[in-house]
Structures are given as C-alpha cells and as structure tokens.
Amino acid sequence: MSLSIKKVIAKPDHLLVIDFENGEQGTLDMKPYLNFGVFKKLQDQNEFEQVRVAFDTIEWPSGADLDPEFVYNKATRVVQVAT
C-alpha cells in the first residue's frame, strides 16, 4: 500500500516525522540508511534538515529521495486514541 506524503519534519538524531494522506503520522529513523550512496551526505544534520515533500514523497537537495511505499512500510506509526 503506497500513500502520498503530505508533510515531513526533520528532527534531531536523524529522525523524520511524516504525515500521510490517510491521516496517519509516522516516525522514520534514517540512521540505518546513512552509510549508503547518496544518503551518506545526510549524515550531516544540516543537510538532513533540508528534507522536503516533492510530489508524493520526500527528497533532499543532495539528490537523495525515498519511495513513498518504503517510507510508509518502514515508519513507526503514531496511533492516536479517541477520547
């Protein structure tokens, strides 16, 4: 299941907080991916913080981007309980 990403916020320690089109929110820890290819540039927190939404997914000016299906499947979803 692939969902468009509506909002992304970079947090300290290479975490992303992501809002999906279905109303869910998730957190993606990027640390496991920062030793590969174009993602190495994102080890610099200043580079990492330049993340933005592009079309239905996220990207960085360095050329790194992530498939929305990957993001959705790897993100830990925050479940809000109705009161």
Dump pLDDT digits (tens) for 13-31: 999 999 999 889 999 999 9
Nearest to 2 by CA among 29, 28, 25, 21: 21
Nearest to 53 by CA among 17, 80, 13: 17
Model confidence, pTM: 0.88
Fold for the domain defined by 5-78? NE0471 N-terminal domain-like (3.30.2020)
Written as six digits, the tokens of 33 are 């991916």
**Rounded Cα gap, residues 25 and 79, in angstroms:** 8
Q: Residue 3 — very low, low, confident or very high, per pLDDT cuts 50/70/90?
A: confident
Q: Is the pLDDT of residue 1 over 60?
A: no
Cβ atoms 18, 26 nearer than 8 A: yes
Query: pLDDT tens for residues 40-83?
Result: 999 999 999 999 999 889 999 999 999 999 999 999 986 554 44
Query: Which amino acid would we find at residue 24?
Result: E
pLDDT of 68: 92
